[in-house]
Amino acid sequence: MKRSQELLARAKKRIPGGVNSPVRAFSAVGGEPPFIKKAQGCWLYDEDDKQYLDLIGSWGPMIAGHAHPKVVQAIQEAAVLGSSFGAPTKGEVLFAEELCDAHPALEMVRLCSSGTEATMHAIRLARGYTQRDAIIKIDGCYHGAHESMLVEAGSGVATFANPGSPGIPKAFAQLTRTAPFNDLSMIEAQLKKGDVAAVILEAVPGNMGCIIPDKGYLQGLVDLCTEYGAVSIIDEVMTGFRLSRGGACEYYNIQPDLVCLGKVVGGGLPLAAFGGKAEIMNHLSPVGSVYQAGTLSGNPLAVAAGRATLSLLTPGFYQKITQIGDQVEQGLRSFVEDHGLSFARVGSMFTIFFRSQAPRSYAQVKECDFQAFGRFHALALSNGLYFPPSQYEAVFLSSCLGAEEIQFLVEGTKKSILSL
């Protein structure tokens, strides 16, 4: 780790913590992050030429593997034509049509550049549309780092949120209410007050590790929103185009009012989107009065990468990646359970929880043995496996894992657990 160590020391002088997004610093697990030089397929290569099986896929986007020739070619061809115009393009129209064809909840869509923006804009739209201010967020779900969403559950039965970070005014946080995942009663109690603009959640949370929704929870939540006049927002930044071409909404057959997309949809370039019912989307400026904008929104390179990625995501693709998930689960589930851990998986997302039963809520995730997870992470890394550096994150598999890579993953994980 010689070069990576040198780079980290230099980085820390000019970039807070040496990283441009905190989880990359490995502070939740200890140890030092390798600096990545390049990636190909499902492999990462660091500055010291050590090779890792990539289990984070850039936190989701790289579902078809790194530097896929079709995606690289699309970006190259777009770059030659100019990288940003600040004016409408044909590619955006085709992309919007493709997104609406793919996703059951999308009648209209607007592009932006990050998942944070997508949820921020969707929430503003919901507030403008309903003319209500309060928002319900589910404990442990992550929707980006902005004022309404960077909050923590209040203590006790009070469900007003507290600021999740210094810099978030209490007044903002108090407009967000929280409820536990897999629990409809707290949500209904809040909705009854009649001041809730929207309920937002991840259908399969991946930001507190992979949590499986109880049967009927998602449909129940959408129905409650309809009953009380609140906008249902499914944040599919992680699950969109991952669980199926129509995301978690297709996978669980639900039809929310709005959805947010990101990660896979940009094929590794900065691109995200929010959309849903035309009746709501038409409240956006310039048709409606809810303001939202972005200089680089619909950027031609990002749209080209997104469209090229989506063109790879056929029914056969999802069959293949689900089989990869099945094989990893077959290789690991009983082993991890025999060692007092648990295994939670939906499709190509999974988490090994350092807790004997797979958690159903954030409160249960907090009971995991984080010390042991940290030791596991370091051992796995030394065995060439780049697991997410936090128990609160999910593994994202890519379609590039062949039989050999699956065996490498299963054997390396077992070996790491045995040396704990």
Ligand X SMILES: *Cc1c(COP(=O)(O)O)cnc(C)c1O
Residues that bind ligand X (CB under 6 A): 114-116, 119, 142-144, 202, 206-207, 235, 237-238, 262, 272
Q: What is the DSSP string of 350-402?
A: EEEESSSS--SSHHHHTTS-HHHHHHHHHHHHHTTEE--SSTTS-EE--TT--
Can you tell me the distance from the alpha carbon of 91 to that of 274, in angstroms, rounded to the nearest whole number? 17
Least distance (Å) from ligand X to the CB of residue 174? 22
- Could you confirm whether 235 is annotated as catalytic? yes
Name residue, tokens 């039809």.
255
Between the alpha carbon of residue 276 and those of residues 21, 100, 183, 192, 355, the distances in Å are: 29, 9, 25, 24, 37
Q: What is the DSSP string of 149-217?
A: TSEEPPSTT--BPEESSTTS-HHHHTTEEEE-TT--HHHHHHHTTS-EEEEEE-SS--BTB--PPPTTH
Least distance (Å) from ligand X to the CB of residue 389? 15
Name residue, tokens 């010689």.
2
Q: Which of 142, 318, 386, 392 is catalytic?
A: 142
* Cβ atoms of 19 and 33 closer than 8 Å: yes
Nearest to 397 by CA among 308, 321, 313, 314: 321
Q: Which of 46, 139, 235, 257 is catalytic?
A: 235
**108 - beta bridge partners?**
276
Can you tell me the distance from the alpha carbon of 332 to that of 36, in angstroms, rounded to the nearest whole number? 27
For ligand X, the closer CB: 137 or 143: 143
Can you tell me the distance from the alpha carbon of 199 to that of 194, in angstroms, rounded to the nearest whole number? 13
Least distance (Å) from ligand X to the CB of residue 21? 7
Phi, psi of 273 (to 5 degrees): -160, 155
Sheet holding 36-40, edge to edge: 36-40, 43-46, 51-54, 385-386
Can you tell me the distance from the alpha carbon of 217 to that of 187, in angstroms, rounded to the nearest whole number? 11
Positive/negative CA dihedral, 184, 102, 143, 212: positive
Structure tokens at 289: 């009065």
Can you tell me the distance from the alpha carbon of 415 to that of 97, in angstroms, rounded to the nearest whole number? 47
For ligand X, the closer CB: 61 or 300: 61
Least distance (Å) from ligand X to the CB of residue 236? 7
For ligand X, the closer CB: 46 or 202: 202
Which residue number places its CB atom closest to ligand X? 115
* Cβ atoms of 83 and 75 closer than 8 Å: no
For ligand X, the closer CB: 147 or 202: 202
Least distance (Å) from ligand X to the CB of residue 263? 6
Least distance (Å) from ligand X to the CB of residue 119? 6
Least distance (Å) from ligand X to the CB of residue 110? 15
Least distance (Å) from ligand X to the CB of residue 411? 29
Omega before 205 cis (within 30°)? no
Question: Which amino acid does the sequence have at 156?
Answer: G
For ligand X, the closer CB: 46 or 235: 235
For ligand X, the closer CB: 114 or 190: 114
For ligand X, the closer CB: 22 or 229: 22
Q: Which of 52, 257, 263, 362 is catalytic?
A: 263
- Could you confirm whether 90 is annotated as catalytic? no
Question: Which amino acid does the sequence have at 14?
Answer: R
For ligand X, the closer CB: 197 or 273: 273
- Could you confirm whether 48 is annotated as catalytic? no
Task: Just list the catalytic residues.
Answer: 142, 235, 263
